[in-house]
Chain A
Amino acid sequence: ETGVTQTPRHLVMGMTNKKSLKCEQHLGHNAMYWYKQSAKKPLELMFVYNFKEQTENNSVPSRFSPECPNSSHLFLHLHTLQPEDSALYLCASSQDLAGQETQYFGPGTRLLVL
């Protein structure tokens, strides 16, 4: 295992539901990330946190709301999602934001929006 855990592993929700994805890293890292992975498309960076502070928001719709209460935990709150938001959501962490730092990924949450 990579030291990054995500729950739930699978999620089915309606467009009017509110749900949250959880990520936890046990590596002592300072930076955490949310990515979206759609079929046959490159990973898309959504949010970056460094020392609990958000440093990047890649024009993500407001129906996705991140929360980072401490350096070990990262949440992605979901509300009024669209079917096109169905994808694999990956959390990752790295020691810091330096370009040569390896990112360690969790197993992802497979999300289906009906």
Chain B
Amino acid sequence: KNQVEQSPQSLIILEGKNCTLQCNYTVSPFSNLRWYKQDTGRGPVSLTIMTFSENTKSNGRYTATLDADTKQSSLHITASQLSDSASYICVVSKPGGAQKLVFGQGTRLTINP
């Protein structure tokens, strides 16, 4: 069964600290993996996309990693800011088009001052 599991479900950290969110998937065949950020009251916004041959991708303070052998990805946030409070969604795509996406349930991250 094609699934994407994210952990933890929710996370609270202090401003300025680092954190890592996890994504494990069983989707096969694999095309690419994307991390989205969804602020409260808004739609998801793409942060990074990685294909099979890429094992790391950065976007400012966000760094995503991918281990295609173990089917795991992580999103590391450095020096967190209050604006990082959001849900982070891991999405794995199968070949065959944008409609072949498998979404994780998201990790709710709260940054406290």
A residues adjacent to B (C-beta < 8 A): 2, 4, 31, 33, 40-43, 45, 48, 55-56, 90-92, 94, 96-103, 105-108
Contacts and interface: CB of A to CB of B under 8 A. Distances in A.
A6 B34 CA distance: 24
Interface stretch (B14-22, B43-51, B63-71, B74-82): B43-51
A13 B98 CA distance: 32
A113 B97 CA distance: 33
B43 A99 contact: no
B31 to A, nearest CB: 5
Q: Which residue, A92, A103, A107, has most C-beta atoms of chain B within 10 A?
A: A103
Contacts of B7: none
Interface of B: 4, 9, 31-32, 34, 41-46, 49, 51, 89, 93-106
A71 to B, nearest CB: 15
Nearest to A43: B103
Contact of B49 (A2, A31, A43, A102): A102
B97 A98 contact: yes
Given A42-B104, A99-B93, A31 B98 contact: yes
13 contacts: A2-B43, A4-B43, A41-B105, A42-B103, A45-B99, A91-B43, A94-B98, A99-B95, A100-B32, A100-B51, A100-B93, A102-B34, A105-B44
